[in-house]
Structure formats: structure tokens, C-alpha cells
Structure 1
């Protein structure tokens, strides 16, 4: 049976970082939380992956980030994996799959893989062992009401039931919102872009 993966990242941020594209000195998009779901051919959830990650360059989370995501410093300090470990686990989870994001999360993933390797850290599994696709343009075209939505609001903008417990800006919740949107749109006649199902 065909499967695919949807994933979402929460990464370090500060006030106005998005508007400035993280251009301020020292502001990098270091991954702090990873969420991913493996979906069957009918878009039901088969397996999930979730991890907290300890940022290296900016190890202290900003108050802005904590307020936005609900992720606090003590949780990251206690439960966070090293970047290399978390990235390797995610890439292993994605191996051989089409991996869909709602936006440029694969770029952020690539940045973090590059920084870890530059520090001399070994990452199990390769970025090239999966087929990463940003399907936000497709989704926004099929459902114009989502054009200004972040991934965690897709379920709401499509008038769907809340997909799971939690709130937006939690990586795993955002994945459930994304998966619900894909399942709904395909059930109402849309076809995923070529290459999304292997």
C-alpha cells in the first residue's frame, strides 16, 4: 500500500523574525520541535513521530517563541534531543517516502542538516533518501480560503472537525491539521500533485 509523510517544524524565532526573514545577526531557524505523520493511501494516520530538539547556536528560547508555541525552556532542556539525533530519526522516518510540507520546512530542515554536519556531527540517513515536496501552492489553489492560513489553521478554514487535541504552532498538531485538509480535499475530488504518492 502507498504511504506518504506530512511533516512540520517549529524553529527558533523572535518578534518580527518572519517579516525580516531571520536576517538579524545571530537569528537562525534552529529546529526546536519536529512533528511527522505517515499516512496510508486513504490518508489515515499509520504512524507518528514527534521530538523536541535542543538548539545549539541559540540554546535559550525567546519569550516570543515560548508564547507562540507553548514550548518552554525546561522541557527542551530535559527532553530535547541533539540536532543530529533528531534529524537522523526524522530522515529515517521519511526514508523512501514522498514527504509533504505546507511551506518551506524542507529548506529549514536542510539548513539544520548543514549546520549539524558543519559541526562535525554524524546524521544517520540522507536528505536524498526521500522526496520532499511543498504542496502549499497546490492546496491554496484548490482551497483559496486557506491562502492566508498557517498549517495549524487549515482544519478551521476548511470547516473541518478539530483533528486532534492541541493547538496550532505545535508541530504534531499542525501535521494533523495538514493531514485533515489533504484528506478532505481529496475526498471532494482533488488530486494530489504528481509525485506525492509512491
Structure 2
């Protein structure tokens, strides 16, 4: 089995935004943090990627977002990179590999690529081959206790050791390690892998 990438995004949000699918005026799902890990054939993490991104339409983070993620405005102002740069670097990290998420983060990624291009910004790498796979339906099927659980709590629900990564749930890189731990555990328990990983 070739190596593959697990990624997770944190993006702008406000009270009630998720329930309304970000439909209120001006509430865009702009990426603020990208985390990713590359796994080998034994599901061990062999490389990490993490970056902060400066949102354009809503450069001021909501208090709700900061409380949820722990990401402070000053960190984004100081360390955040422009969206096109972050997206290009992330796509480069993923090139030639299957890319997994726990949920539809690939849709948010696509939105952000589209907005960057509409602003005339150049994305250096094209969307990926072989492509993206949402493994949430598979995880929830083979481990029903995970239904309704966010990615950063998968390790806990499955009774696994806490991932050896800084942060906590709703920190993109920590969430990636939680997803990787769940995948490693389920594969080790003999769960049939989703088609995209065969």
C-alpha cells in the first residue's frame, strides 16, 4: 500500500454558523489552520505539515473561533501566511498520494482555492491525483461509537492513548494524529479498509 496523507482544517466560524451551514451574509469558511500527516504502510506518521493562514474576507477572528480552537488573533497576524501560499504548500505536501479527511474538509479546501483564484492569486499545484477520500462514513460504520464524534476525540472514544502531539481537539495537527491513531487501531483490529486505501 502506498503512503497517504491525512489532513484537517480549522476555518472561520461564529456562533450558529455550522447549524446554518455558514449561510449568513459574510460568513465564509476561510481556512485559518491546515494540519496534515503522512503515514507509511504501517500507518505510522512519518512527516507532518502545519501552517496558519491569514483569512482575507474576515481577517478578524471571532471570539467563538478562538475559544473553540485556541488560535489567537496575534498568532495569525504574526505567523499566518497568505492563502495562496498555504494552499500551494499543502498541495505540494500531498502530491501523488491519496488524501484522507474525517469529514468533508476537501469541500472547504476547494472553496478556498476558488476564492484565491478569483482574487487573481496563483495556486502552484493542481488538485490531487489520486484524490481525496472522506473516511468518516467508513470509521463510523466499523466503529459505531464514533458516530457524532469529532476527529479530535476519536482516540478517546476508541480507548486509545492520547496522541503524542501538541494541542487538543480543534487543533488541526492534533486532530490529524487522532484520525491516524483511529485508522491504525481499526486496521490492526482487522477492519476492511475503504476502497481508496486498497
**1:21-170 maps to which residues of 2 (within 5 A)?**
21-164=21-164, 165-170=166-171
- 1:16-72 alpha-carbon deviations (Å, 9 max, x no partner): 100000010000000000000000010000100000000000000000000000000
SS at match of 2:33: strand
Gaps of 5+ in 2: none
Equivalent in the alignment of 1:190: 191
The aligned residue for residue 180 of structure 1 is 181
Partner of 2:16: 16
Matched residues in 2 for 1:182 and 1:162: separation? 14
For structure 1, list consecutive stretches of 5 or more residues without a partner in the other structure: none
Judge conservation of contact 1:146–1:157 (CA < 8 Å) in 2: yes
- 1:127 partner SS: coil
TM-score, normalised to structure 2, is 0.97
TM-superposed CA distance for 1:128, in Å, is 3.4
Query: Is the Cα–Cα contact under 8 Å of residues 99 and 196 in structure 1 kept in the other structure?
Result: no
Contact 1:31 1:53 in 2 (8 A): yes
Deviation by residue 1:86-143 (Cα, 9 ceiling, x = unmatched): 0001101111100000000000000000000000000111113441000100000000
CA-atom RMSD in angstroms: 0.9
Q: Is the 8 A contact 2:96 2:128 kept in 1?
A: no
Q: TM-score, normalised by structure 1?
A: 0.97
